[in-house]
Amino acid sequence: MANKPRILLIYTGGTIGMIKDYKTGALKAFDFSQIVEKIPELQQLNCNIKSVSFKEPIDSSNMNTSYYLDIVEIIEENYTKFDGFVILTGSDTMSYISSAISFMLKNLKKPIIFTGSQLPIGDLRTDAKENLITSIQIAATKEKNKPVISEVCLYFEYKLYRANRTTKISAEQFEAFSSMNYPPLAESGVHLSFNNHLIHQPIKDYNELIVRKDLVDDIVILKLFPGISKQVVRSILEIPNLKGVVLETFGSGNAPTKASFIQMLKEAIDRGVKIVNVTQCIGGQVIQGHYETSVALNDIGVINGRDITTESAIAKLMHLLSKKISTKEFTFLFEKSMRGEMTDKKI
């Protein structure tokens, strides 16, 4: 039937694409071109599913930014031919990958759902089938002929999240992700229920999808711990060609007040390095200047990451560093929501 939603499955690698060879016991790659034959339940979804796979499936730990580009190019090439996209990657770095893709695609009007699994698709107790089937169902869901989702999401274990709000929190539970600062966009139970008021609604006037392919990866995460030495901080901030730092601070954005520490940060900022304050806490936000231990960060021009995740801060830095903009504009753009990745200040 011509009106069936068309869904493109993009398999990049990871556990979900593995199947057990019961003769040898070894895990081998699953052939996604036969997905509908291998998972007959998919026929009940009443959509046309096509798939493409990376030539060499890759563990998500090995996915650098060139693979993000491969994914967005597949989406760009197929954007008008499909109603929705389901991207299968390893779960380990899925929050980083999907956050980056959310910044690379502007004016998105179609669903892009990342999913994966903790157990291979061919395992008896697998979580892969539910994750895959519901992700496809979500990508195919329309209301008044428009997709219900038009943003980059991550679906795992009965919950649909805004991708750039997620963090992997468990290496072994099926509930592997959380989104502490933004509630799920949909929950799957007996019914698939969408939280419409939380879902991004595209601005009608902007029709064209804009694909931003430039990412700058000369950046680092500097996670503070009590007593971190001057030498360590200095050698990180003096990495040649360093352009950006995600400074993981304590609580609501607090850091040592020692003059030498603040001076090192200031010198880096004066050299043009962008330093973003993100909390080490899994939930809550940075309030720079709230405690004495973050007043100096404000004064020297550290960017307030508010309630952004580290994964999303990395993605946003990579994206914004590629723009030729002033420090003032950079700070302004970083401190406000671009793709729903942070909660805007109440004015």
Q: Which residues bind ligand ASP (CB under 6 A)?
A: 13-15, 59-60, 90-92, 116
Minimum gap (Å) between residue 35 Cβ and ligand ASP: 17
Q: Which is nearer to ligand ASP, 90 or 305 (CB)?
A: 90
Closest C-alpha among 263, 215, 277, 264 to residue 243: 215
Q: Which is nearer to ligand ASP, 148 or 160 (CB)?
A: 160
Q: Which residue is nearest to ligand ASP (CB)?
A: 90
Instruction: Specify the residue for token string 């060879």.
Output: 21
Minimum gap (Å) between residue 279 Cβ and ligand ASP: 25
Q: Rounded distance, CA 135 to CA 152, Å?
A: 12
Answer yes or no: 309 catalytic.
no
Minimum gap (Å) between residue 329 Cβ and ligand ASP: 35
CB burial class (10 A; 0-12, 13-18, 19+) of residue 43?
A: exposed
Q: Which residues contact 339 (CB under 8 A, 6 or more apart)?
A: 102, 103, 151, 152, 164, 200
Q: Which is nearer to ligand ASP, 131 or 279 (CB)?
A: 131
Q: Rounded distance, CA 29 to CA 20, Å?
A: 9
Minimum gap (Å) between residue 280 Cβ and ligand ASP: 23
Q: Rounded distance, CA 187 to CA 273, Å?
A: 40
CA angle 91, 94, 97 (to 5 degrees): 155
3-class SS at 331?
helix
Q: Which is nearer to ligand ASP, 11 or 194 (CB)?
A: 11
Instruction: Specify the residue for token string 């950079």.
Output: 330
Minimum gap (Å) between residue 126 Cβ and ligand ASP: 12
Catalytic residue among 15, 65, 126, 166: 15
Beta strands in 21-76 (DSSP E): 27-29, 48-53
Q: Which is nearer to ligand ASP, 63 or 317 (CB)?
A: 63
Which residues are catalytically annotated?
15
